[in-house]
Amino acid sequence: MKAHTITLHGHEVRFRSAGSGPVILLIHGITGSSRLWEGVIPALARDHTVIAPDLLGHGESAKPRGDYSLGAFASGIRDLLLALGHDRATVVGHSLGGGVAMQFGYQFPERIDRLVLVSSGGLGREVSVLLRSAALPGAEFVLPLLVAPALRDATAAVAGFLGRLGLRPSHDVEEMARGFASLGDLQTRQAFIHTVRGIIAWDGQRVSAMDRLYLAADIPTLLVWGEHDPMIPAVHGEQAHKIVSGSRLEVFPGAGHFPHLHDPERFTDVLLEFIAETEPAKLDHARVRELIQARTA
């Protein structure tokens, strides 16, 4: 597994890559980075090309003043694939990355082989109070106080704070603490605020793909959730599973918001089995037009 930097549209994009073969694209969640996939990349790369970018505004990628909408992230993912010489991929998205993955399939249906949603956003209103608070007016003035150097350097203190908000599973506390601490950087914090306010309001998620999930009928779809996800409830995955015909749902017992960290071996087994048992989607704009027209009154 190697880390690389590429310049797209004048902005540096950091990504990890490994292996060869059909492409698996891994998209992290908010405040995360490609580092969150390190535990599963080696197994996935045995027979696949694995690409895991840091989204703009995250990790070691650039944090410009710009568009942090789901559509912009999806376009950036498309451009990264093209720049690297790839036309299609099995797209795996965690949390915010799930919303980006669905948007990618919506905007570029001809480029998606399979869709894998891991504790995904965009499938219901419910979301943790922590993220809803970040969408409130004035959050940009409060965050600098919460991520002051003394607190940012004390991961245990941050983890304790998040634990009091209900994030009990160990991986949830550890990873959210690390992501929360990253907001000490002004540019990262600004990108975070712009991203949150594009998808979340004080009363829950603003963006929902539920009314368009019928368009995924021709895309092999896997949903993976933690049984005790405190950020986005597992019922969202169950509801999406009922809507997307032929989809597969895997709920990891005892896991929280990061099932791929809770049990990386099971996660890779499930994902590779799903890929082996399904054919890549053959969806294009003509087929999307048929699906939409069939639902038009």
Judge whether 95 counts as a catalytic residue. yes
Of the residues 61, 95, 128, 182, only one is catalytic, namely 95
Judge whether 203 counts as a catalytic residue. no
CA separation for the pair 183, 189 (Å, rounded): 5
Q: What is the pTM of this model?
A: 0.88
Looking at the structure of the chain, the number of domains it has is 2
Residue with tokens 């005790």: 228
Contact 130, 165 (CB under 8 A): yes
Judge whether 79 counts as a catalytic residue. no
Write the DSSP assignment of 256-278 as a string of letters: -S-HHHH-HHHHHHHHHHHHHHS
Of 143, 166, 201, which residue is a domain's last? 201
**Do 33 and 179 share a domain, yes or no?**
no
CA separation for the pair 237, 242 (Å, rounded): 9
Of 201, 220, 235, which residue is a domain's last? 201
Of the residues 172, 229, 262, 263, only one is catalytic, namely 229
Is the pLDDT assigned to residue 234 strictly greater than 50? yes
Q: What's the token pair of residue 95?
A: 């949390």
> For residue range 142-194, what is the model confidence (pLDDT) as tens digits?
555 455 554 445 455 555 555 555 544 467 777 777 777 777 778 888 888 88
Is the pLDDT assigned to residue 239 strictly greater than 90? yes
Of 201, 225, 260, which residue is a domain's last? 201
Per the structure, the complete domain to which residue 148 belongs is given by: 129-201
Of the residues 28, 94, 257, 262, only one is catalytic, namely 257
> For residue range 16-43, what is the model confidence (pLDDT) as tens digits?
999 999 999 999 998 899 999 999 999 9
